[in-house]
Amino acid sequence: MPATSIGARGAIITGWGSALPPRVVTNADLMRTLDTSDEWIKERSGISERHVGGTTSELSVESGRQALRMAGLDPSEIDALVLSTTTPDRTVPATSATVQNALGLKCGAFDVNAACSGFVYALTVAHGLIAVGARKILVIGTDTLSRITDWNDRNTAVLFADGSGAVVLEAVDGPGQLLAWDIDADGSAEELLYCELGGTIHMEGKEVFRRAVRIMVDSGQKSLEAAGVSADEVALVVPHQANIRIIQAACERLGIPIERAATVLHYTGNTSSASIPLALVDALNAGRLKDGDNVLLVGFGAGMTAASAVLRWGGIR
Ligand code: UT7
């Protein structure tokens, strides 16, 4: 669909948090069981180590709690929980139900699955809820890909990992931070990246790579254009953390210097729904954003989905 500009009632991010399981798996650890090398993994993907462990609900509760605390909100004040995940703890109910209960939220809760683009989808949906009257929303992106990875398959095992990132969105009078958004999907490419129920991830890495750059650039450009923001006005790009070479190629084609990209994949690996919020939180905690800065979030994933959003940082609730 075409990228869409935002109407009158918007939202700002007032709190954020992240969670990584304590267990670190290095490239050297993987070399013990796989025909691979630290050099190959770093050169081809940019990943040095990753965190593995925990459940989607446990990690979500940790990042969600941090975000609520930072926003200074009591759980009872939240109007909705939107959890992006491809790796729910159960088929039914949605993992958001477990998280809602554990955090003591008294509100509607649902999961969104748009693979690695999911956090931007969830953020967009949350803005839609704000536009129709919700005031405070907790948006979480979490995946535990280690549970659906074949640890004997060197094509995928060196890439995927676990993590969670969360933000609190609060309504404001006026337009808020979100300037424009875009969500896309091409279901005809489903066979390139999938996991059967109870199975492990199958991926045509080369073809996913090729398409990833194209659809990230396409989605990013659509949102930038709808926002009226040029590439050189982007202070920070927060891309899906799949492969540093994909990020470099996408930045180059978007005309955004790589120094403006938020990257965490060297220590997180590819955490799917968590990757964009983990990178955003890392950049925020490092003080990389100031009021008025334009931020481009852009992801791609199985499905093949793509999503982007342009935020103008700052605002007072
Ligand atoms: O969230 C979205 C999900 N996925 C992605 O974004 C993945 C997109 N794709 C990629 O990131 C890259 O395609 C990979 C990192 C998966 C692979 O990198 P590549 O540069 O496309 O490598 P390749 O598949 O062309 O493989 C090159 C060589 C092959 O050997 P030959 O045929 O040249 O002898 C592979 O068998 O590297 C071999 N290889 C490995 N070697 C050591 C494949 N995996 C490994 C490995 N360690 N883990």
142 shares a domain with 197: no
pLDDT digits (tens, 9 = 90+) for 200-211: 999 999 999 999
**Eight-class DSSP state of 160:** B
Query: What sign does the dihedral 2-239-269-39 (CA atoms) show?
Result: positive
| pLDDT at residue 6 in the model | 52
| 287 found inside a domain | yes
List, in sequence order, every residue forming a beta bridge with 109; answer none if it has no partner. 81
186 shares a domain with 144: no
| 237 found inside a domain | yes
Mention every residue, 6+ apart, whose C-beta is less than 8 A from residue 11: 126, 127, 130, 137, 169, 170, 171, 172, 176, 177, 178
User: Ligand 1: distance of its center to the CA of 41 in Å?
Assistant: 9
- Please give the tally of structural domains in the chain: 2
| pLDDT at residue 137 in the model | 98
Instruction: Give the active site residue among 27, 113, 195, 240.
Output: 240
97 shares a domain with 43: yes
| pLDDT at residue 8 in the model | 65
Query: What sign does the dihedral 7-254-296-155 (CA atoms) show?
Result: positive
CA–CA gap between residue 134 and residue 214 (Å, rounded): 35
Question: How many CB atoms sit inside 10 A of residue 59's CB?
Answer: 29
184 shares a domain with 158: no
pLDDT digits (tens, 9 = 90+) for 98-120: 999 999 999 999 999 999 999 99
CA–CA gap between residue 80 and residue 67 (Å, rounded): 14
Name the residue among 40, 28, 81, 26 with its Cα closest to residue 57: 81
Q: Quick check: is 152 catalytic?
A: no
Question: At which residue do the structure tokens 């993907």 appear?
Answer: 45
182 shares a domain with 160: no
User: Ligand 1: distance of its center to the CA of 187 in Å?
Assistant: 23
Instruction: Give the active site residue among 116, 127, 195, 251.
Output: 116
| pLDDT at residue 2 in the model | 53
264 shares a domain with 219: yes
| pLDDT at residue 315 in the model | 84
- Of 26, 39, 41, 44, the residue with max ligand 1 atoms within 8 A of its CB, to mutate for a pocket test, comes to 44
Question: At which residue do the structure tokens 């999911």 appear?
Answer: 118
Please identify every stretch of the chain with a pLDDT value under 70, giving residue numbers as ranges: 1-8
| pLDDT at residue 53 in the model | 98
Q: State if residue 206 touches ligand 1 by the CB under 6 angstroms criterion.
A: yes
- CATH number of the structural domain spanning residue 107: 3.40.47.10
User: Ligand 1: distance of its center to the CA of 272 in Å?
Assistant: 18
Instruction: Examine the fold and report which residue of 171, 206, 241 is the final residue of a domain before the chain moves on.
Output: 171
Domain range holding 38? 11-171
| 19 found inside a domain | yes
Please give the structure tokens belonging to residue 209: 């790579």
